[in-house]
Structure 1
């Protein structure tokens, strides 16, 4: 794990130097939450570190070998299209097509290793959803990386002893190497290469947890609930308003809250606290029945939705 931390930290340092040299900078603007031009693309270090890990595990053989190869190929596609987009902005549809191909590869790998169609469908949906959600939610210092670290930590604890547990633990360490460059004051952003890669990596981990059957599947949604609620409700709101929902904006609750407080740190820590409580609930309920866990999941998401609506109202009234 120390190797993951060192590789990610040194890779992020190199990525920052490269971004400054190539002038890959995110400029402040009305559709962004930062106020200083900041290099982007630091997530390439996380993607490269985790790609090496997955390939190494795949080449060792074993029952998960084919799935891991598909996982690695999908990660290359998602990170690759993100890297290109960080250098020259691409339209939404080419990115979605590449992401769909990556999601299909993950789903196909799951299908070859698991009987039935439910697990591959879940893998495809998770990949498409989380790749884009992590991109949408990567808007303030430390938020996307810290949330990914918390989800990965949960998966490392739930899947300990297996291949997916090692991947999750490696991701936690890689994010620990990246985060000092991104929080509390960002010196480099993840970029599309990083946010997309994180979403895809987490989708793979959640698919692995679903396939393992070690925890009731409804509980797997809890660690990502903060992002699911904020991104999901905001997306629905923008669609209902007939806005260009696929374009950059600052309408997420976390963005409005950060703007109100003039502090990214408070918002990032608050979201982290929320997600840590969710992880504790998952660890407590790992032996519950599916019906019981589904009920807890429903109550949790209803509470999260109420909290989201209350925060939106309070921010709008100020």
Structure 2
């Protein structure tokens, strides 16, 4: 399993590095990402889980790589998310007696924290696709391995990712519904709109941290304590995240329209 995890990470990191330097086409890049997710998923399912899960795991892995890449647009945001998610996953792993997995999560959190120190605003170094894709795949793999240990732990893992998954997913869906080229670069994520409307990188990163600490982590840890409430709490977290995203996006768009009308009578 460890070797497969390392090879999958290497594949995503390599294609990300090439894209950073040569701007690869979408399909080859996505194909390698799916290959990495497929390799890891196949190794995970060899532990005795049903192979019906394989296509869902592959899609989830590919989406995790890309959504974390989408969310790496301002100083410190993705590094902070990496610290938060992997550190909390370490707590969840130790709580179910999975010391090796907990150690892997803790090491991931430490690595993200070390990078965050130099990536916080004003950033001195940047992740690029090689870093954001690797963090996305790593978070997917750690949650999947925790889910393999105890299926009830899937829901706390998803709750921890609620801010990023909601922002990336609803932004992509809104672009698709509007008939835009959703697979091209853009600046329509909520965090990007907040920066465009005058918020500093530090302020926006603090807003996402507030969600993680005040909403996501209490719900995730409570879900671990009472597994019967894990799925309902996960639903509540994503409904609340979606409602917050819609309210903030609508407010930002309304302000944008008002400013445009003021400039153009």
Specify if TM > 0.5: yes
**Cα 1:86–1:101, aligned 2, differ >3 Å: closer, same or farther?**
same
Counterpart of 2:136 in structure 1 is 199
Superposition RMSD on alpha carbons, in Å? Answer: 1.5
What does 1:182-261 correspond to in 2, within 5 Å?
A: 182-213=119-150, 215-261=152-198
**Cα 1:209–1:73, aligned 2, differ >3 Å: closer, same or farther?**
same
How far the C-alpha of 1:280 sits from its partner, in A, is: 2.5
Structure 2 residue corresponding to 1:310, chosen from 247, 257, 261? 247
**Cα 1:262–1:220, aligned 2, differ >3 Å: closer, same or farther?**
closer
What does 1:90-109 correspond to in 2, within 5 Å?
A: 90-109=24-43
**Cα 1:159–1:119, aligned 2, differ >3 Å: closer, same or farther?**
farther
Counterpart of 1:128 in structure 2 is 62
**8 Å CA contact retained: 2:152, 2:230:** no
Structure 2 residue corresponding to 1:266, chosen from 179, 203, 226? 203
Q: 2:237 and 2:199 mapped to 1: Cα distance?
A: 29
Q: Deviations over 1:121-180 (max 9, x none)?
A: 453233111100001110011111111111101111011242221111001111111112
How far the C-alpha of 1:119 sits from its partner, in A, is: 5.1
SS at 2:124's partner residue?
Answer: coil
Q: 1:130 and 1:241 mapped to 2: Cα distance?
A: 23
**Cα 1:210–1:120, aligned 2, differ >3 Å: closer, same or farther?**
farther
**8 Å CA contact retained: 2:37, 2:57:** yes
Counterpart of 2:116 in structure 1 is 179
What does 1:163-174 correspond to in 2, within 5 Å?
A: 163-174=100-111
**8 Å CA contact retained: 1:111, 1:120:** yes
Q: 2:43 and 2:151 mapped to 1: Cα distance?
A: 20
Structure 1 spans left out of the alignment, 5+ residues: 1-66
- 4+ long deviations beyond 3 Å: 118-123
Say whether residues 1:281 and 2:215 are aligned partners. no
Structure 1 residue corresponding to 2:74, chosen from 133, 137, 140? 140
**8 Å CA contact retained: 1:258, 1:264:** yes
**8 Å CA contact retained: 1:68, 1:109:** no
- TM-score between the two structures when normalised by the length of structure 2: 0.90
Q: Which has the higher helix share?
A: 2
**Cα 1:221–1:143, aligned 2, differ >3 Å: closer, same or farther?**
same
Q: 1:70 and 1:134 mapped to 2: Cα distance?
A: 21
Counterpart of 1:44 in structure 2 is none
SS at 1:285's partner residue?
Answer: helix
The number of residue pairs the alignment matches comes to: 251
Q: 1:70 and 1:276 mapped to 2: Cα distance?
A: 33
Q: Deviations over 1:29-61 (max 9, x none)?
A: xxxxxxxxxxxxxxxxxxxxxxxxxxxxxxxxx
Q: 1:121 and 1:184 mapped to 2: Cα distance?
A: 38
SS at 1:113's partner residue?
Answer: coil
- TM-score between the two structures when normalised by the length of structure 1: 0.76
How far the C-alpha of 1:214 sits from its partner, in A, is: 7.1
**8 Å CA contact retained: 1:158, 1:215:** no
